[in-house]
C-alpha cells in the first residue's frame, strides 16, 4: 500500500537548520555511506560535520520554502519510484521506460546516484509535494523553484546527474533541461499533469 503524503515520515533535525549524516541518509532514503558522495556531487559542503538544510534543498532539489508550510513539506522524506508508481497508478517498469525515453508526464525527480558505464543507478528520488501538485494540477504549496548548479559530472560522463538515469541514451545526451523548468511550471500552477513537461 502506498502511503499518502500526510502519512510519510519527516526528518526532524537534531540541530536546527542542519542535518547529520544519519538524518541526511534518512531524508534521502539511502545508506549513510552514500551521503558523502551525494553531497560532493551536488556541491553541498558540510559545516562541522553537519549539512545545511537549505543548501540541500537548493542544490539538490532546486527548491526553497517561502512559508512554514513549505519548510514542513520539504522535510518530508524523499520517495523512490515505487512510491511514485503507487501514487500515479503505473507500473515501476513503465515509469522507468518513460523516464528513459523522455515521455514521463511528471517531473523526473533527481538522480542521486553516480553515473558510470555499465552501471544504472537506482537512486532517483522525488519530493512528495512535487508529485502531488502535478497530480492535482496546482501550484506547489509554500515552495518555489530556484536555479541550481548542475552536480559535478563524472570524468567519463559529461551529463548532469539530475537529468539522466544512467542508461546508454542518457550518457549520450549533452543538453541539460532548463534549470527548474518543470518545477517552475508546477509552482505557477500552469502545468496540469496531462501536459508533458520539458525534460
- In the chain, where the domains are located: 10-74, 81-138+151-187
Quickly state the pLDDT bin for 21 (edges 50, 70, 90).
Answer: very high
Residue 159's pLDDT is 35
Residue 188's pLDDT is 55
Q: Give per-residue pLDDT as tens, 100-135.
A: 888 889 998 999 988 777 777 789 999 999 999 999
Q: Give per-residue pLDDT as tens, 46-95.
A: 999 999 999 999 999 999 999 999 999 999 999 999 999 999 999 999 99
Residue 71's pLDDT is 97
Half-sphere exposure of 9 (CA within 13 A, CB side): 8
Q: Is the pLDDT of residue 171 over 90?
A: no
Q: What is the mean pLDDT of the chain?
A: 79
Give long-range contacts, CB 8 A cutoff, 24+ apart: 150-157: 150/176, 150/179, 151/41, 151/42, 151/43, 151/59, 151/60, 152/40, 152/41, 152/42, 152/43, 154/114, 154/115, 154/116, 156/116, 156/117, 157/115, 157/116, 157/117
Residue 186's pLDDT is 53
The CA distance from 127 to 5, in Å, is 10
- Region 176-189 average pLDDT: 50
C-alpha cell at 36: 558523502
Residue 182's pLDDT is 52
Radius of gyration over every alpha carbon of the chain, rounded to an integer in angstroms: 16
Domain covering 10-74 in this structure, CATH number? 1.10.238
Residue 115's pLDDT is 76
C-alpha cell at 84: 511514485
pTM of the predicted protein model: 0.74
Residue 2's pLDDT is 75
- Region 164-186 average pLDDT: 42
| Nearest alpha-carbon partner for 82 in 24, 116, 122, 119 | 122
Amino acid at each position: 500500500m502506498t502511503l499518502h503524503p500526510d502519512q510519510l515520515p519527516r526528518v526532524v533535525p537534531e540541530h536546527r537548520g542542519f542535518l547529520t549524516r544519519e538524518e541526511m541518509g534518512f531524508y534521502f532514503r539511502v545508506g549513510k555511506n552514500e551521503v558523502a558522495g551525494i553531497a560532493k556531487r551536488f556541491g553541498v559542503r558540510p559545516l562541522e560535520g553537519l549539512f545545511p538544510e537549505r543548501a540541500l534543498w537548493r542544490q539538490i532539489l532546486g527548491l526553497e520554502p517561502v512559508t512554514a508550510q513549505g519548510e514542513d513539506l520539504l522535510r518530508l522524506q524523499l520517495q523512490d519510484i515505487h512510491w511514485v508508481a503507487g501514487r500515479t497508478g503505473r507500473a515501476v517498469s513503465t515509469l522507468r521506460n518513460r523516464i528513459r525515453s523522455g515521455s514521463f508526464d511528471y517531473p523526473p525527480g533527481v538522480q542521486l546516484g553516480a553515473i558510470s558505464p555499465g552501471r544504472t543507478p537506482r537512486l532517483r528520488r522525488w519530493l512528495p509535494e512535487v508529485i502531488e501538485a502535478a497530480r492535482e494540477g496546482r501550484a506547489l504549496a509554500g515552495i518555489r523553484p530556484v536555479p541550481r548548479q548542475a552536480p559535478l559530472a563524472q570524468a567519463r560522463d559529461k551529463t548532469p546527474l539530475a537529468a539522466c538515469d544512467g542508461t546508454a541514451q542518457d550518457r549520450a545526451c549533452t543538453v541539460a533541461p532548463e534549470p527548474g523548468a518543470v518545477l517552475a511550471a508546477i509552482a505557477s500552477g500552469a502545468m496540469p499533469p496531462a501536459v508533458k513537461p520539458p525534460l
